[in-house]
Amino acid sequence: MKRILPLLLLAALTACRTGTPTAADAQALVDKAEAESFDLAHEAGQASWVAANFITQDTEALSAKAAERSVNAAVRYAKEAARFDNVQLPPELARKIKLLKLSLTLPAPSDPKDAAEMTRLAAALEAAYGKGKYCPGGDPSKCLNIDDITKIMASSRDPKQLLDAWSGWHTVAPPMKKDFVRLVEITNKGAKELGFSDTGALWRSQYDMPPDEFAKELDRLWAQVKPLYDQLHAYARWKLREKYGKDAVPENGPIPAHLLGNIWAQQWDNLYPILAPAGADPGYDLSSILKQRKTDPIQMVKYGEAFFTSLGFAPLPQTFWERSLFVRPRDRDVVCHASAWDVDNIDDLRIKMCIDITADDFNTIHHELGHNFYQRAYNKQSMSFRNSANDGFHEAIGDTIALSITPEYLVKLGFIQKAPDPSKDLGLLLRRALDKVAFLPFGLLIDQWRWKVYSGQITPEQYNKAWWELRLKYQGIAPPSARGEEFFDPGAKYHVPANVPYTRYFLAHILQFQFHKSLSELAGCKDPVHRCSIYQSQEAGKRLDEMLQMGQSKPWQDALEKVTGTRQMDGNSVRAYFKPLEDWLIEQNKGKPVGW
């Protein structure tokens, strides 16, 4: 049912548009925006859920239409909020107005033609990526989508096949470049109308600090973790050189991008069999244990829920069990990518997963439920504040919980009789570092490139050159073949054509280790931090819940302080977690080049 606003509120909104804006006008705008966004978010959530679980042309169209209504409202309110830039407002109201302005990823200009073109371009770019295929030899019967390419990159050890798959996937991007260039022009126009120098400055303004200061903060964090990354890079390089030969991998230069087990070289955990330390087998296989115990998908989720209830959180609502998707249906296609949902922004919590009885899915369930418990914790906040402290926090919370899936946790569940000897930790730490530490520079450079594109520092004539310069600078990797400006290699990564900000993932990979360290101390853990689990710690759970309940009502520094006691993000927590591994890597790399 459509909300009917009181005549007084309508009058206030009219004054806001025609006269000198006041604090009362700002409050009226926020009240209207919160009421409408609550309804629109619920509608969009339901439509999106149906579209993901009953894939048809009709459900896709209904979901798109509901999403469009939400986006249009966000654009409208962001433009109105910009009128209050120079108005003195109470702190909470000022924060809500600011969040209205910052709610857009792609700010549409006021010109209807530009706005329509922006919407069309954004949809076309995402669709172009989604339809992307590489057809070896031009044979349509042999076409490979990104899932096929991902499997080849993960499992193949044939450098020719890897090069072919890598080069082939990157052919999907060049046709996107023209639309991307135009989209940058249009969104920058919209950002300037909101008072920002460009779209990148708008994105960086979402972090409760001046945009340039936030950029410097990222540089500081990267400098803290880079020594660990450098050691991991050096070790991977000489092991790959042993595997593929001196002609394939240089002794002291960048690693060829196609040899790292991932199409974007963003995570290297698929290389673990090549890089594993001798004698590092922990002596148990969680996937086998789960299957031997005849664990079913519901029980997998029950284990995850029990982790949170052991911390003092209330159980999930009954509707969670009735409405979630746990197994792949036999009668229809569904989107199986694991995700956590808060459909009504109150307590209609759900997960959508096609659960396999594996260690990976056991970890993923704990991660996804981290989102759900965060969503429920902040549901008493105003609608404006029902979100994580910043966009890195939501991912970090789920990952923090997953870091507590330690051998000690498995002992408490009765899965294993005793934790493996600490000498076995190197394998567990290396596997995790190939996932988490290897990701850090990639998580940083995506937006480093985009921010320079939005500001004009990188022009369309330099897109590819600048892209590979950043990948060399941060990751120490190089393309396997010459890549001129006829290519558009950034477009081969989904988040670029889909216009999804990426710095959140870098922040999450820093924050999760900082949270884990502090919560482990609250839990009284005396073991090395990588061995700590906060399972059953009411004290850690209480402090975590206090932070989660804050939502986005305060600057993220306040939320961080609630758990860690500090207002500054700290990459040294990553180093502390992986210290035994870093010491071992330094020993392994003695006499070998480090850096590139």
Positions marked active-site: 368, 495
Q: Return the sign of the alpha-carbon dihedral for residues 15, 19, 24, 25.
A: positive
State the Cα–Cα distance between residues 393 and 387, nearest whole angstrom. Answer: 9
Q: Which of 319, 321, 324 is nearest to 340 (CA)?
A: 324
Q: Where are the alpha helices (DSSP H) in 170-296?
A: 177-193, 199-204, 211-244, 272-275, 286-292
Nearest to 400 by CA among 428, 363, 434, 425: 363
**Which tokens in the block code for residue 131?**
């339809």
What does the angle CA 353 – CA 354 – CA 357 come to, to the nearest 5 degrees? Answer: 110
Complete DSSP assignment for 79-130? HHHGGGTTS---HHHHHHHHHHHTT-SSPPPSSHHHHHHHHHHHHHHHHHHH
For residue 369, give both structure tokens.
């439920």
Strands 255-256 and 339-342 turn out to be unpaired
Two tokens, residue 172:
């999907």
Give exposure, 42-71, as e/b (b: 16+ Cβ within 10 Å). Answer: bbbbbbbbbbbbeeeeebeebbeebbebbb
Say whether 144 sits in a helix, a strand or coil.
strand
Nearest CA to 542 out of 523, 570, 569, 514 is that of 523
List C-alpha distances in Å: 173 to 1, 131, 153, 333, 490: 44, 11, 18, 27, 8
Written as six digits, the tokens of 279 are 């004698």
Angle of the 146-155 helix axis to the 159-169 helix axis, nearest 10: 150
Q: Are 385 and 559 in contact (CB under 8 A)?
A: no
Instruction: Quote the CA–CA distance of 17 and 39 in Å, as a whole number.
Output: 23
Q: Taking a C-beta distance cutoff of 8 angstroms, is the pair 174, 166 a contact?
A: no
Q: Which amino acid is at 38?
A: F
Instruction: Please state, as a whole number, how many other Cβ atoms lie within 10 Å of the Cβ of residue 433.
Output: 26
CB–CB of 493/269 below 8 Å?
no
Residue 47, token pair as written in the block: 């439509």
Query: Can you say whether residue 591 is alpha, beta or left, with left for phi > 0 and alpha for psi between -120 and 50 degrees?
Result: left
Query: Would you state the structure tokens that stand for residue 266, as one six-digit string?
Result: 């963003």
